[in-house]
Amino acid sequence: MIIAALLDKQPAFSFEFFLPRPPEALDPLFDHVRELAPLKPSYVTLTYRAGEGGREKNVAAAARIQDDFGIPAASHVTGFVHTRREIAEFLDRLEERGVANVLALRGDLPEGARPGSSGDREFPHAVDLVRFIRERGGFRIGVAGYPETHPEAASPDDDLRRLAAKVRSGGEWVTTQLFFDNASYFGFVERARKAGVHVPVVPGIMPVTNYSQLKRFSALCGVRLPAPMREHVERLKGSPEALAAFGVDYATRQCRELLAGGAPGIHFYTLNRARATAEILSRLRTH
């Protein structure tokens, strides 16, 4: 199933899962998938861990989710730390197992690497990976977008130029980084359209379930917390259950506004926690 086509059947709801670190088994991941499968997501995406058998785990997980649960899967493919040969081998394995959708990403910089330094990397930027996959053929390609600008971008305009280049090079849909202010998404989409990005732009939503995790992710991704939300989170940080309930309420309101404003769907960053995502999606579909 082509994910870009699924996004034409609005609204499309999708989930991101991350693979356990080697040598941990994949069983806990499939427990999460099993919990969420009855919600009939349009598709799921699977994070990619470089090295230590990460590629093989990604292939095995994506294939099993498609075969056993009947849910289309898109594998993350990160280029920065890999060679063309390694990426080609990974794509060959995905194709052999019937995985036809990928999310092409630069990937995190290795520890100690300076932003903007690519050295002799074969895929210094995500657009290089997108071109390579398109030229190879056989895959439908998604790319990432940043409503509040990539932390390493020289400027918002530069960031949009890079997004437009990824789309021109073969990107068929955009999944955004997480955000908590819907104005950031709507403004981003408007500016992206003016920059020539005319593919679906799917908002990425992360339900707040853990205070320290929220602080870490927001700092890492350069994500702004609106003042009212920040005040609630600070007030509830000592009560995990109350914070999680607030997170579900907040994300539900976010999603409703996004869908009413024309978003083609919602991509949930589940953090491999099924309960919050299941509750939000259940509310969206019943009210």
**Alpha helix ranges (H) inside the chain:** 3-6, 27-36, 54-69, 84-96, 126-136, 156-168, 182-194, 211-221, 227-236, 240-260, 274-286
Q: Which residues pair with 266 in a beta bridge?
A: 13
**What CA–CA distance (Å, rounded) separates 192 from 201?**
9
Q: Supply the residues annotated as catalytic.
A: 16
Q: Which residues pair with 269 in a beta bridge?
A: 16
Largest Cα separation within the chain, whole Å, is 53
Q: Which residues pair with 202 in a beta bridge?
A: 175
In one letter, which amino acid is 51? G
What is each CA distance from 140 to 75, 124, 206, in whole angstroms?
A: 11, 21, 25
SS (H, E, C) 151-212: CCCCCHHHHHHHHHHHHHCCEEEEEEEECCCHHHHHHHHHHHHHCCCCCCEEEEECCCCCHH
